[in-house]
Structure 1
Amino acid sequence: MSFKNLEFLFERAKKGNIMRVVVAAAEDGEVLEAVHTANVEGIVEATLVGDPDKISKVAKDKGVDISSFEVIPATNEEEAAMKAVQAVSSGEGDLLMKGFIKTSTLLKAVLNKEWGLRSGRLLSHLFLFEVPRLGRVVGLTDGGLNTYPGLQEKAAIVSNAVSCYHALGVETPKVAALAAVEVVNPDMPCTLEAAALVQMNRRNQIKGCIIDGPLALDNALSEEAARHKGVVSEVAGHAEVLLVPDIEAGNLLGKVILFMANGAGAGVVLGAKVPVVLTSRGDTARTKALSIALGAVLAKT
């Protein structure tokens, strides 16, 4: 199954119960616009954590009605993160969202041992991208959280992404372990790790997907490029999930798609007790709204 664009997330998120999103540091126009859109679509109710006066001013400037949203006062980022996470962990919210706050501050609260959202699994970031030229949706992981993951971390990152795809109805997602080349080179550690992941997948250590690699980006996404280079596999040219070698590659690739290729995206952190909607502070309201929809779908599974 492949998705042509990300609009399917809105339709999928409308099914079942309405979820409650809790936004940490909600004093952000794009965030409020996205939450309002998701609310109008019948996807979420919202709790906004932050400075009430600033939230009201930003909402007014954006022309967004937040009168139906609960507001929890917080005086700074740390307090906003704490109160937002505590609200979710106590059952007063179904998913958490990053507002105008540093990712590190929010995740420190998520990982708090007393009242955080730890599940025992590795946290990893997945971004679903709508790529106009490809005409389909492609996932990218992990370009937002784990900096230089080793083999075991990459296996966990893949497993998180596969669980997300299963929740979206993709029974056996095709995962490309990316590198600069499509051959194993002992001088390039990520190619060795890619080959090891393939073997782990074949031996059922990583289940529910098909992994191939190392694959360069072109032959992961293009059948023509794969044929030209003589790469034959079920994944080459048909990759649904791109496993990047490190955060720098993932961050750069993601921003090229969003800001240079006119793409759209939906980003979440996986592996916590609930989905954590996490996008860049520079992302558009549409990307943030799509991310809320993705988080709401996952919160129902």
Structure 2
Amino acid sequence: MSPQSTGTTADDGPRHPRFRFLLSRCRDRPKLPMGVIYPCSAVSLEGALDAASQGLIEPWLFGPERHIRELADRLGRGLEGVTVRDAPDPRSAARAAALAGRHGDIAALMKGDMHTADLLHVLLDRDQGLRGPGRMTHAFAIDTPAYAHPLIVSDAAIHVSPGLEEKREICQNAIGLAKAIGIEHRRVAVLAAVETLHASMPATIHAAALSKMAERGQIVDADVDGPLALDNAMSHVAARLKHIDAQVAGRANILIAPDLESGNMLAKAMVLLADGIAAGIVLGASLPIALTSRADTAPARVASAAMAILVATDTEPGTA
């Protein structure tokens, strides 16, 4: 459910400096054992091997071993030092990876060439999955030259129509992610179509409630404001013209979407129309899960792996 990347390479530093910054923050971290679930397409396998060659991860590949090795041969990529665990299909690969995670063999996961729904079906299982103490939520970290600030969009893959308590956890988990990837001043805009409250528009009521919850300490470690429309959340000019004077207005770096559909479309628009790279992650599980699209290019997968590393090794994750 992640946006398709635009063919960006790992050498796109001038256009995507935050992508470079993400990688640089991993340099002082040890290689992380990461389970890659069903890397049965060229781009999913190359993404994992690229992350390994850059010193980020020790890949554990879960999927049909013969197919994976033949694919690596066709790509001219070696599998020396790579653990391959045979599993015939995506769900069995996900179950095997989840088991390795529960046993402590791996410290993070990455989705390969499989549907997000199949992966979440396994990971959300109460007996065999990787549930943490709170809700699992999803976030994209997006680097686009069209915006002057780092940017997180949440939730765009798990919660279809979240209620207030779900949005509180979505918000807090996104703040924890921002801390882990080095965003020092976290400014959360809870989005709606308008910046005023309307009883007929539940997103505005939720946004106002979340803003008040932050004032009362129910959401911590960030400035939170809402409801804010997208323009006055991201544009100083729009905020000034609408007479909105607040810490978050015009420079938000975390956007909380009203629902999955709007969050997903917002992230895709930033990638497809604004030359962005989107790194996706599932938060709130017992270990971080890099949630990539089957259409993502290898650089987007490397960025997602880097983000999972920073979350896994963060000493103060700040999740709900």
Which bracket does the TM-score occupy, shorter chain normalised? over 0.9
Aligned sequence identity (%)? 37
Higher relative CO (Cα under 8 Å, sequence separation at least 6) belongs to: 2
State the match for 2:293 in structure 1. Answer: 280
State the match for 1:184 in structure 2. Answer: 197
Bigger mean CA deviation after superposition, 174-183 or 25-34:
25-34
| Corresponding residue SS for 2:135 | coil
| Corresponding residue SS for 1:5 | helix
| Corresponding residue SS for 1:26 | coil
| Corresponding residue SS for 2:255 | strand
Distance in 1 (CA, whole Å) between partners of 2:28 and 2:42 is: 27
State the match for 1:129 in structure 2. Answer: 142
Distance in 1 (CA, whole Å) between partners of 2:166 and 2:123 is: 19
Change (3 A) 1:171 1:260: closer
State the match for 2:107 in structure 1. Answer: 94
- Residue 4 of structure 1 and its aligned partner are, at CA, apart by 5.0
Q: Does 1:289 align with 2:320?
A: no
- Residue 108 of structure 1 and its aligned partner are, at CA, apart by 2.1
State the match for 1:163 in structure 2. Answer: 176
Distance in 2 (CA, whole Å) between partners of 1:182 and 1:289 is: 36
State the match for 1:69 in structure 2. Answer: 82
Q: Does 1:38 align with 2:51?
A: yes
Q: 8 Å contact 2:152–2:178 — kept in the other structure?
A: no
State the match for 2:186 in structure 1. Answer: 173
Distance in 1 (CA, whole Å) between partners of 2:76 and 2:275 is: 26
**Unaligned 5+ runs, structure 1:** none
Distance in 2 (CA, whole Å) between partners of 1:209 and 1:135 is: 19
Equivalences for residues 44-83 of structure 1 within 5 A: 44-83=57-96
Letter in 2 for 1:94: A
- Residue 204 of structure 1 and its aligned partner are, at CA, apart by 0.8
Distance in 1 (CA, whole Å) between partners of 2:240 and 2:197 is: 18
Distance in 2 (CA, whole Å) between partners of 1:78 and 1:115 is: 12
- Residue 101 of structure 1 and its aligned partner are, at CA, apart by 1.3
| Corresponding residue SS for 2:248 | coil
Distance in 2 (CA, whole Å) between partners of 1:60 and 1:260 is: 35
Distance in 2 (CA, whole Å) between partners of 1:194 and 1:170 is: 22
State the match for 1:241 in structure 2. Answer: 254
| Corresponding residue SS for 2:306 | helix
Q: Does 1:195 align with 2:208?
A: yes
Bigger mean CA deviation after superposition, 287-296 or 170-179:
170-179
Q: 8 Å contact 1:6–1:265 — kept in the other structure?
A: no
Letter in 2 for 1:68: G
Q: 8 Å contact 2:34–2:59 — kept in the other structure?
A: yes
Which of 155, 162, 183 is residue 149 of structure 1 equivalent to?
Answer: 162
- Residue 183 of structure 1 and its aligned partner are, at CA, apart by 1.1
- Residue 160 of structure 1 and its aligned partner are, at CA, apart by 0.6
State the match for 1:204 in structure 2. Answer: 217
- Residue 172 of structure 1 and its aligned partner are, at CA, apart by 4.2
Distance in 2 (CA, whole Å) between partners of 1:53 and 1:196 is: 53
Q: 8 Å contact 2:225–2:248 — kept in the other structure?
A: yes
- Residue 9 of structure 1 and its aligned partner are, at CA, apart by 1.2
State the match for 1:223 in structure 2. Answer: 236
Distance in 1 (CA, whole Å) between partners of 2:191 and 2:75 is: 40
Bigger mean CA deviation after superposition, 152-161 or 15-24:
15-24
- Residue 77 of structure 1 and its aligned partner are, at CA, apart by 1.4
State the match for 1:117 in structure 2. Answer: 130
State the match for 2:268 in structure 1. Answer: 255
Distance in 2 (CA, whole Å) between partners of 1:135 and 1:7 is: 15
Letter in 2 for 1:253: L
Give the number of aligned pairs: 299
Q: 8 Å contact 1:6–1:137 — kept in the other structure?
A: no
Distance in 1 (CA, whole Å) between partners of 2:141 and 2:179 is: 14
| Corresponding residue SS for 1:176 | strand
Distance in 2 (CA, whole Å) between partners of 1:135 and 1:172 is: 14
**Unaligned 5+ runs, structure 2:** 1-15, 315-320
- Residue 218 of structure 1 and its aligned partner are, at CA, apart by 1.0
